[in-house]
Amino acid sequence: MRAGRLCVALLMLVLAALGFGQDLKLAVGDVVEIVVTAPSLSSAYSGDFAVQSDGSIYGVGFGRLLVAQHTIPEAQRLLRQSMNRLVKPEEVFLTLKSEVARRVFVIGASNATAGGSVEIVGSLGLRQALSGMVAAKDADLLEARVFRAGSQILKVNVADLLNGRSVTGDLPLEPNDIISVALTPTVRVWVAGSVRNPGPQLLPESASIDQAVAQAGGADLPSTADALAFRGEYRILLRRGTTLTEFPLSANPSALAVGLESGDTVTVMPPVRNRIVVAGEVKTPGELVTRPGETLVEAVARAGGVTAEGSAAEAIVYRAGEPTVVNADVNSERQTGTKFQLQDGDTVLIRKNDRVVYVFGEILHQGKVSVPTGKVFRVTDALAQSGGLSQTGTLRRVYLARVGPDGHYAVREFNLDEFIKDGKLSSNPELEPGDVLLFGQPKPTFLSAVTQVVGSLLFLDTIAGAAGFRTTVP
């Protein structure tokens, strides 16, 4: 018998040296074996002892000893301390003889999980226990609560836990822990605008704006090299009732941590872009995509600048069909092009640097007529150089369009026949470079309509034969 006890003691020493059972914590139902190697005391104190419901073992020599939740080395140390009046510590050994099945229990509500129990083999964390029981697609709307000895010790969002985002990290489980998995309180919000999957989204009650955007597939950014720059220009609008709040899409996550409420609308707004056309005497005519606030001078520069034959001093901007003359010559003291902001749909026309007037309407040869330097040049001179009236033209309805101080064309009507017949000089006004003459028909024409016609004729005359457009993005 004594030899057997010594063999057991030696085996315990070997197992301890190998680290066997060093991390295992005793639990209710486990059976430990105590071996006392002192010959005279072995039969009195050695034996098998079950861990009772209060977590203790009971026996001669140590009385009641609480061992539950202690490892084997810890329990052995407590045992030696308890028996040190009776036997030398090095003659007392404790080992695990049989182990009760260690399990944690998972219960689910509203079909959140299948439920059941999970056996603890070695060590078991909360993440591992739930990974095989919870569908990943449902995890974001679930929360897990862990109860130990009747008290809740943890509450965590299941998706955060499974994806490693939980601030508490993974929780080591202990036998008889109870894990309750249930649907979290939810809010229903609308996510719209530039997202991949717009529409209603069901989110946890504590969800933030960036979570709503992420669940809708994320922002639908352009797949270009400058996507990051575009991201900085996107905006998120949160509408709650009549209140509208704006956030940058690239904001720090803490700025987007606003808790959502049912009925909220989250809209991802792409950056505003204006499309304009720059034509005429520029090096690269075509369509430009501009940011709001881009000026006329900036647009002309992005179109390659003015050609050697052109002049930006009398650039024409067509907006909703109405022409406006703007001085965009950066070398001019009177230039206003650095302050003139373009709008979506504008067309910019850069004309040649000529001293000409434009003659259109019921004449034989329409187009530009040169204005001689140092000589008075009147309407009759322009009419003569244009070949005279057509068969349907009339001298009684002649229209002169001249740029006013505000850059807009002012149109006046006069009767050239009064000069031809009576010599009335005011009916044959002196012309200036840039003036536009329109010879009409006997039927009256509204002056507002003349302005529209003048703008269209100027545009067609300037871009005739121009190359095709191209689109560039700043």
Q: Which whole number is the average pLDDT over 43-47?
A: 92
pLDDT score of 470 more than 70: no
What pLDDT is stored for residue 345 in this prediction? Answer: 93
What pLDDT is stored for residue 299 in this prediction? Answer: 93
How confident is residue 14, by pLDDT bands cut at 50, 70 and 90?
very low
d(CA 155, CA 180): 9
Of 3.40.50.1100, 3.40.50.300, 3.40.50.2300, 3.30.1950.10, the CATH number of 2-98 is: 3.30.1950.10
How confident is residue 342, by pLDDT bands cut at 50, 70 and 90?
very high
What pLDDT is stored for residue 473 in this prediction? Answer: 44
Phi, psi of 99 (to 5 degrees): -120, 130
Question: What CATH architecture is 356-443?
Answer: Roll (3.10)
Q: Each residue of 257-303: pLDDT tens digit?
A: 788 999 999 999 988 888 999 999 999 999 988 888 999 999 999 99
How confident is residue 340, by pLDDT bands cut at 50, 70 and 90?
very high
Q: Which whole number is the average pLDDT over 95-103?
A: 86
What pLDDT is stored for residue 408 in this prediction? Answer: 85
Give the type of residue at 359.
V
Phi, psi of 371 (to 5 degrees): -105, 115
Q: Decide if 406 contacts 328 (C-beta within 8 A).
A: no
Residue-range domain boundaries for the chain: 2-98, 103-183, 186-269, 356-443
Whole-prediction pTM: 0.47
Sheet holding 243-248, edge to edge: 199-204, 186-193, 265-269, 235-240, 243-248
Q: Two tokens at 56?
A: 């203790």
Q: Bridge partners of 192?
A: 267
Q: Measure CA 237 to chain center.
A: 11
How confident is residue 1, by pLDDT bands cut at 50, 70 and 90?
very low
In terms of phi and psi (left: phi > 0; alpha: psi -120 to 50; beta: otherwise), the region of 122 is: left
What pLDDT is stored for residue 463 in this prediction? Answer: 57
CATH class of 186-269: alpha beta
Q: Each residue of 48-60: pLDDT tens digit?
A: 999 998 999 999 9
pLDDT score of 118 more than 90: no
The percent of residues in the chain predicted with pLDDT above 70, rounded, is 86
What pLDDT is stored for residue 135 in this prediction? Answer: 66
Question: What CATH architecture is 103-183?
Answer: Roll (3.10)
Phi, psi of 14 (to 5 degrees): -65, -45
Q: Measure CA 163 to chain center.
A: 21
Q: Do domains 103-183 and 356-443 have the same CATH topology?
A: yes
